[in-house]
Structure 1
């Protein structure tokens, strides 16, 4: 059983970045200089940990002025960097992380969520109520598609 919480401390952020490193940099070969960006400093990060305190997954929420600048849409927040370690995949943890980001988005004035899904994950997000928009495009060498959901 996992606990999902907002990452508040420097130690929590170390765990967040460790999960992202394992999933994106190691597994998917995303260059580290692309994976970590200036938005990490102003984003809200959620962290899932197991009963033993070990990290299992993470996601981030971009909100406020940064979200408006990136989406051009008032009231839209961005869900990003959703990552679940291999050992925790298929357990429902990814959906828990998405719902935690959605709740945080509401708390930060969001009325709609945008995300940039890897094409292989479109079905996962569709099951959670997201709809794909526009064409497929590359990001970090991986095919992606924009998706949105009204909160």
Structure 2
């Protein structure tokens, strides 16, 4: 399915995140002050009919207190797809779009805090896990990272 991606529509991203992380998965602390930061890139995905299907966000490491702020280091997260739309590679397409938007904004590497059940998904596209497994609220997570290709390497 060919998706359309938009950047910066927090209201749509919030609808998906509320449905997936709060209502489905039971997270209590889903929204943060940093969601409104001007450097935060909210990526939203729409099907060919224009219906919202998923979202993610990507941002400079300086906005994440658990990551060293290194030039070119960005953080990916909050990848979510509505439950009834979780087929056809939508999550992979959102991740690729977010990586591209981050690279265009100066990212050379991306780190993320993956739910442990999703680690194989990220490994398939080049992310490498490191460090201990940690609880984020009630769900086990692990840090992962990936170097992005330089523009002339694509």
Q: Does the TM-score normalized on the shorter chain lie above 0.5? A: yes
Q: Does 2:35 correspond to 1:40?
A: yes
Asked whether the 8 Å contact 1:2–1:48 carries over to 2, the reply is no
TM-score, length of structure 2 as denominator length: 0.87
- Distance in 2 of aligned mates of 1:79 and 1:111: 12
Report how many aligned residue pairs link the two structures.
145
Post-superposition offset of 1:52? 2.5
Asked whether the 8 Å contact 2:16–2:55 carries over to 1, the reply is yes
Which residue does 1:5 correspond to in 2?
A: 5
Which residue does 1:91 correspond to in 2?
A: 88
Which residue does 2:122 correspond to in 1?
A: 125
Moved over 3 A (4+): none
Give the structure with the higher percent helix: 1
How big is the alpha-carbon RMSD for the aligned residues of Structure 1 and Structure 2? 1.5
TM-score, length of structure 1 as denominator length: 0.89
Asked whether the 8 Å contact 2:4–2:48 carries over to 1, the reply is no
Unaligned runs of 5+ in 2: 149-154
